[in-house]
Chain A
Amino acid sequence: GQQLNQSPQSMFIQEGEDVSMNCTSSSIFNTWLWYKQDPGEGPVLLIALYKAGELTSNGRLTAQFGITRKDSFLNISASIPSDVGIYFCAGPSGGGADGLTFGKGTHLIIQP
């Protein structure tokens, strides 16, 4: 199946800093999705990307679908305490299977 490599695994930043994380795949994706998971909750969809080169924003979040269709990045500008959580990239499982394949996640920690 699809393999997603997400980095970094964790980030320790100061409030107000910008954040960047990325995801690469072993094969071409037609869709990239970014989710955030808070403790005790299910993942919440942040941004969906459907076209190579697409750049989409959702408030302070910006995500891009790589031109090669094998990568995507998520940026968070001017981080605030509620940005703390785990961010996952995801894409269609492929091979005729339904559902999504998820990256291993980036754990964002904001230091006071």
Chain B
Amino acid sequence: SAVISQKPSRDICQRGTSLTIQCQVDSQVTMMFWYRQQPGQSLTLIATANQGSEATYESGFVIDKFPISRPNLTFSTLTVSNMSPEDSSIYLCSVDLADSEKLFFGSGTQLSVL
């Protein structure tokens, strides 16, 4: 497995502001993913963070709202922009080690938007 450090672990933010979530992995990985888990719900893939190129977004998610950076093979950030209460969720970073189709997750960022 891998050690995946995600921060902040939680935050309370005001409507209209932006929050950047960081994800650091203790080994180089090709595939990094960002998921959203709305209260009481399952996990939904936001985007695949590609090293050296733009992220690939899933249907319903756009770059202007969720810009992603992937400057190297061990780090990625997800920004939640212009937040509204509907963005209150857990945001999870995950990695696929050795393209095994097994994802390993960080502990998540609990975001509450007032």
A98 to B110, CA, bound (A): 24
**What mask results when residues 34 to 63 of chain A are scored 1 for a CB within 8 Å of chain B, else 0?**
000000111111001000000000000000
| Chain B at the A interface: SS class | strand
**What mask results when residues 82 to 98 of chain A are scored 1 for a CB within 8 Å of chain B, else 0?**
00000010101100011
Residues of B contacting A44 in the complex (Cβ-Cβ under 8 angstroms): 105
Asked whether A66 is an interface residue with its Cβ less than 8 Å from the other chain, the reply is no
User: Which of A41, A45, A48, A88 is within 8 Å of B43, CB to CB?
Assistant: A88
Asked whether A69 is an interface residue with its Cβ less than 8 Å from the other chain, the reply is no
Interface residue range, chain B = 20 to 34
- Name 19 A/B residue pairs within 8 A (Cβ), A-sorted: A33-B101, A40-B107, A40-B108, A42-B6, A42-B92, A43-B43, A44-B105, A45-B102, A48-B101, A90-B103, A92-B101, A99-B33, A99-B45, A99-B94, A99-B96, A102-B43, A102-B44, A103-B42, A104-B42
A residues sitting closer than 8 Å to B (CB atoms) are 31, 33, 40-45, 48, 88, 90, 92-93, 97-105
B residues sitting closer than 8 Å to A (CB atoms) are 1, 4, 6, 31, 33, 41-45, 48, 56, 58, 92, 94, 96, 101-108, 110
